[in-house]
Structure formats: C-alpha cells, structure tokens
Amino acid sequence: MNEAIPVHRVTDFGTVKLMPDVDRARAWLLTVDGAPQSYVDLDDPAHLEFEYARRLGHVLDAVAEAGRALDVLHLGGGALTLPRYVAVTRPGSRQDVVEADRGLLELVAEHLPLPDGARIALHAADARDWLSAAPAGSADALVADVFGGSRVPAHLTSTEYAGEVARVLRADGVYLANLADGAPFAFLRSQLATFAAHFGELVLIAEPGVLRGRRFGNAVLVAAHRPLDAGALARRTAADAFPARVEHGAALRAFTGDARPVRDADAVPSPEPPEGAFGIG
C-alpha cells in the first residue's frame, strides 16, 4: 500500500516529486523540476484532473464507439494517466508507453503500480527513435505528451516526425498532441502547418482565453486522415468543468495563416512558458 507521504527522487532528466492529494485518498500529483506533469487517482483511473488531460480524454472517447478496445501508442509517460484512463474506459486495449526517463518509469511503477491485467507495456526510449522503428499501420491512436521540462522537444515538431506519425497510424487512426504556446502563436501555427502537410483533417482544442491570446496555455492538436466529428467534440468540451473551444475547417486554416511546415533542420522546441504559467496553485 502506498503511504501518503511525498516522494522525491532525482531521475535521468530532472527532480521528480510525487505529492499526495489531501482531498482524495489515493491520488497523486507528479511534478518534474517543479512543473506539474501528471495527476493520478489510483482508486478512480477515469478521473482526469488537468484540463488538457480531460480534452485528450474527450478525443480518445470519440476515436471509436464506446468501449471498443484500441491499440494506442503513448509518447511520453508521466504517471501514466491516459494509459490508465484508456485501460478502464476501453478494456482490453493494447497500449505501449514510451518514456525517455527510465528513472521516472521506475518511480511510477514502484509507487503508482498499474492495475492487474492492464495491457500496458512500458519502454524506456526516445520517442522519435521508438516511433521510427514502430511497424506501419500499428496504432489506432497515437498520443504525444512529451515535454523536456516545460517545452516540447524540437525533434517532435518537424514534418519528418509528422510523416512517421502518419506511417504508424492506421488509415482511420487519430493523432493527439498536447502542445503549449501563447500569442502570437508562432509555434502552434507552425505545428498546424506541419501536420496539415500529412493529414487532411485537423482540430485544435483550447481554452478560449488561450486562443484569444490572453494567456499562455495548453492546446490539444488532433490530426486524422478521416473526418472528425468536430461538433461532437465541441459539445463534449463545452460541457466540461473547464470549457474549451474547438477550432476546425476554415477558422483553423485562418488561424494557421501563412505558417510553413517545419523541417528537422529548422525545428525548435516549443516556447519557454512565462514564469508561473504552469505553477502549482
């Protein structure tokens, strides 16, 4: 049984802390170098605390009919919040989680063990390297939530990377990425242009204040070769405890503007968040 005391450990890529939630008996907050990364309730894996995680969950709910098992590849592990969510909402799903920080994986496995029977395989590897070696057409959904500190690494932002994503996804597969940016959105626009070069359908989900440029924050990018039910996603996100806006079609193309796809040679990490943007309140 986990003791409700904080856990601190220096891992391969930073200082990791696990802090118990005083309001939920077996819930934990994971931070890396002070930045909140994951929240997990071991008694209720379907509970998604963070706003961006809830939006990723809404998309995963809409990828296929309710309860259908999926093959899901997660780039970025954290405390395995979304793999746990998929395991309980879509029993029988086969999931691979790729996390570069082996020490983080070991910490999570030790203190926040996965439930028996969860078909979740953990791999300590670089996300891009793993993706390049993954079989073509092997995933129904690919979730990218990779941050080096508080920034998305450059090698996971390029058109070459997007091409690998397109190769690994099945024809009806869906890509979901947690990104972060603020006005004037140079990074977010470049990501939209980059994935538009490989996918015919794009959706962007974010809190209205972020899209209006009022604050720096998370945005969920969704890409697919098939039409996505943006209306259904809009209803889900609008009814959430943390309402969000869904942009697609002409409005999203207007938001992207004249941004160009980014190649490996020119790729840069996502912008450094302003101080306090992702702090713990």
Residue range 197-221, pLDDT digits in tens: 999 999 999 999 999 999 999 999 9
Across 54-73, average pLDDT: 96
Write down the pLDDT at residue 277.
Answer: 63
Model pLDDT, residue 4: 75
Other residues' Cβ atoms within 10 Å of the Cβ of residue 279: 11
For residue 184, say if its preceding peptide bond is cis, omega within 30 degrees of 0. Answer: yes
Round to whole Å and give the CA distance between 194 and 202.
Answer: 11
Q: What is the pLDDT of residues 130-140, one digit of tens each?
A: 999 999 999 99
Q: Directed axis angle between helix 51-62 and helix 81-89, to 10°?
A: 40
Residue 2 has pLDDT above 50, yes or no: no
The reported pLDDT for the residue numbered 34 is 85
Most confident of 2-6, 69-73, 230-234: 69-73
Q: State residue 148's pLDDT score.
A: 82
| pLDDT of 28 above 60 | yes
- pLDDT higher than threshold 50 for residue 1: no
- What is the percentage of the chain residues whose pLDDT exceeds 70? 97
Q: Determine the pLDDT at residue 278.
A: 59
Give 85's Cβ-side CA count (13 Å radius).
25
pLDDT over 90 for what percent of the chain? 88
Query: What are the start-end ranges of the E strands in 128-257?
Result: 139-144, 169-181, 201-206, 217-224, 245-248
pLDDT at 57 over 80: yes
pLDDT digits (tens, 9 = 90+) for 95-131: 999 999 999 999 999 999 998 889 999 999 999 999 9
**Tens digits of per-residue pLDDT, 143-159?**
999 998 789 999 999 99
pLDDT bin (cut points 50, 70, 90) of residue 276 is: low
Q: State the average pLDDT over residues 73-82.
A: 96
**pLDDT of the residue at 35:** 85
Mean per-residue pLDDT for 227-239? 93
Contacts of 156 (CB under 8 A, 6+ apart): 75, 127, 128, 144, 146
At residue 62, the pLDDT reads: 94
DSSP 22-63: TTSTTEEEEEETTEEEEEEETT-TT---SHHHHHHHHHHHHS
Residue 194 has pLDDT above 90, yes or no: yes
Q: Determine contact, residues 170/99, Cβ cutoff 8 Å.
A: no
Rounded average pLDDT over 82-102 = 97
